[in-house]
Amino acid sequence: MSIKKFPKLSKSQVVLARAKNSTGHALDSNFQIYSFNNQTQEIYTIFESLNEAMSYIESCKLNYPNVEFYVYDSSQKVIHTYFPARGCGGPSR
């Protein structure tokens, strides 16, 4: 059992991951709890830029008020977060 491998990205691309705020469980791209046994679930969503990822978060946060969002760069570093109770921030939040 393991989480899907981090995708290969170009320098400008970013990847977004989601988690359920109350439990920390990873969510797939359909906002369902990620199952390590389900190989068809997509846990990562690739965007061409941070701005695109931010727009996506903005469009989702009202419909999914209990979801945390994490944006990673091509070196797998967290470059942006969104937590429902605290809002948006950089990697230190």
Q: Give the pair of three-digit tokens for residue 79.
A: 């470059």
pLDDT at 91 over 60: no
Q: What is the dihedral of CA 22, 7, 78, 54, to 10 degrees?
A: -80
User: Does 8 reside within a domain?
Assistant: no
Global pTM value: 0.85
User: Does 4 reside within a domain?
Assistant: no
User: Does 22 reside within a domain?
Assistant: yes
User: Does 50 reside within a domain?
Assistant: yes
Domain count along the chain: 1
Residue 79 — φ and ψ, nearest 5°?
Answer: -110, -10
Separate counts of helices (H) and strands (E) for the chain: 1, 6
Handedness of CA 43, 89, 47, 29 (dihedral sign): positive
Instruction: Give how far the C-alpha of residue 60 lies from the chain's centroid of Cα atoms, to the nearest Å.
Output: 11
pLDDT digits (tens, 9 = 90+) for 15-65: 999 999 999 999 999 999 998 888 788 999 999 999 999 999 999 988 999
Domain residues for the domain of 65 are 14-89
User: Does 3 reside within a domain?
Assistant: no
User: Does 9 reside within a domain?
Assistant: no
